[in-house]
Amino acid sequence: MEIYDGRRLEVLWDIRTGTRKRSVWWGAVIARVAKGKAASVSKTAKIRYDKLHGHNPTEYFVRFISSTVLEEAEGHGNNVRHLWRWAEKMIAEISENSGSSSVRKRTEEIAPICHPRQYVNDSDICSRVEALEAQLRDVRDVLRLRGLEGKQNSCRVLAFARHKLGLQLGRPLPGNSAALSKYRDAHSLVQESMTVQVDCSLAEFSSICEAVASEESEGVDISPVPPRVGSSKFGRFYRIRFQRFDELCKALGVSCLSDVQDSLLKVKNGKREQSPISICVIGVLKQDGRSTNGPMILAVGSSISTHFKSSAPVKVLYRSSRVWDQVEGRFAESLKAMEWPLSDIIAVESGDDQGSTSTLEREESEEPSVFCITWNRTSSVTERLFEAEDYDGVLGILEVSIPHVVVRGLSFCAEVVRVCNRDFIGEGSHM
């Protein structure tokens, strides 16, 4: 391969951090080639090392012994030799091994990753054009590599999140027949939230946000939005809200629709009665706060939040009145499976007076009613203007929140099993 001004390479160095020694490929650019045949590997050139590992850019004269070995040309006697490689060859090999050809071009990221090629002979127009073309190839390859690395890192985080969530959803419902016997002639309806946590850097979470945003779904809201690469300001947390449970599962990488449908409803049968005594429904419970006898709405597999503008109907279990018949041991009004517009469900919620609460308070109180992925920063960040932290160095916790409703009581559970069947759950799925 030709050795010419402006071409990028990498040199293998051993660096020491405290008592540890490790080998790193140090990026560099050929600043000036000594006179000689362009195709010769036994050439002397001045190379400029990148600013890395706490060291400023440094220039050295080196001699290319072979296509893989070079030595310092400034010393006397036994000069130190190093392995070296062309940077574009390394990137091409990684891209080929990844098996992906997708390239996400982000213009705002070009400046931090490309290195200016200097020491080009101004009188030689051809050399200048070749150097610019080579630099453009470097930028494209690095952008491609960065996109592949981000996707790979986010896949690792999501794999752990899927695993932990699967373990949580697979656990049996708590309580036995004896403990639940008090609900034989009564009922209980409780809103709860299931959470799993995974270590995650801001770079990994940003990759997840990019993948989710690319779907352009009305049922997804990202707020606050993570800062751009190169920003010096980092927030305490960032959140992705999902209107539907299947959208969250899709973002986590769950590919089997039947698995998502089967997880929406979990039933626990009593040993003596051989009938449902406890049920867990993935979804959100909304009841009129102005009256204990008002309507009940259980959104199956859906969030209830003003963050979403989707017009798709929501599957709900609806009861027009929560009046309980003590004599019969059941509700006066029967439970029905229906589909409601999201705006109508939110209107029912408006019975609670929220006019005096702040936006932050309303958002915090709303979170149990939303399927979401939240990133919380755990590492300390020194915010200095124009001095951005490395995304990979901003550490945090990825938290997946799944709202669900626990139903207890023989008559109540029997109603839920009757109306919330597979035909109702699976009908009109969006995944």
Q: Name the amino acid, one letter, at 75.
A: G
pLDDT above 60 (res 397): yes
The length of the chain is 431
Q: What mean pLDDT is predicted for residues 34-46? A: 68
Q: How far is CA 13 from CA 97, 394, 398, in A?
A: 25, 27, 35
Considering only residues 385 and 45, tell me which one the structure prediction assigns the higher pLDDT: 45
Q: In the 3-class helix/strand/coil scheme, how is 119-187 assigned residue by residue?
A: CCCCCCHHHHHHHHHHHHHHHHHHHHHHHHHHHHHHHHHHHHHHHHHHHHHHCCCCCCCCCCHHHCCCC
What does the CA dihedral 212, 218, 219, 223 come to, rounded to 10 degrees?
A: 60
CB-CB contact of 250 with 429 (8 Å): no
Q: What mean pLDDT is predicted for residues 32-55? A: 76
DSSP letter, residue 214: T
Residue-wise pLDDT tens digits, 413-422: 999 999 998 8
Buried-exposed string 218-241: b where 16+ CB fall within 10 A, e elsewhere: ebbbbeeebbebeeeebeeebbbb
Residue 204, helix vs strand vs coil:
helix
Written as six digits, the tokens of 285 are 């419970």
pLDDT in the model for residue 152:
59
Written as six digits, the tokens of 310 are 């989707």
Tell me the average pLDDT of the chain. 77
Written as six digits, the tokens of 55 are 């060291």
pLDDT above 70 (res 393): yes
Written as six digits, the tokens of 141 are 């390859």
Written as six digits, the tokens of 239 are 């959140």
Structure-token match 């419902």, residue found: 173
Percent of the chain's residues with pLDDT above 90: 27
Structure-token match 């999902």, residue found: 242
pLDDT band at 309 (very low <50, low <70, confident <90, very high): confident
- The rounded distance, in Å, linking the Cα atoms of 350 and 346 is 7
- In 15-124, alpha helices (H): 87-98, 110-113
Q: Which residues contact 382 (CB under 8 A, 6 or more apart)?
A: 389
- The rounded distance, in Å, linking the Cα atoms of 165 and 45 is 56
DSSP letter, residue 226: P
- The full DSSP string for 352-392 is S--TTS-HHHHHHHHGGGSEEEEEEE-S----BTTBPPPGG
Residue 401, helix vs strand vs coil:
strand
How is the chain split into domains, by residue range? 8-147, 172-426
Residue-wise pLDDT tens digits, 237-295: 999 999 999 999 999 988 777 788 888 999 988 877 678 889 999 999 988 766 777 88
pLDDT in the model for residue 416:
93
Q: What is the value of pTM for the model shown?
A: 0.61
Residue-wise pLDDT tens digits, 328-354: 778 888 999 999 888 888 887 544 444
The crossing angle, in degrees rounded to 10, of helices 202-213 and 125-170 is 90
Q: How far is CA 274 from CA 236, 266, 268, 417, in A?
A: 49, 15, 9, 13
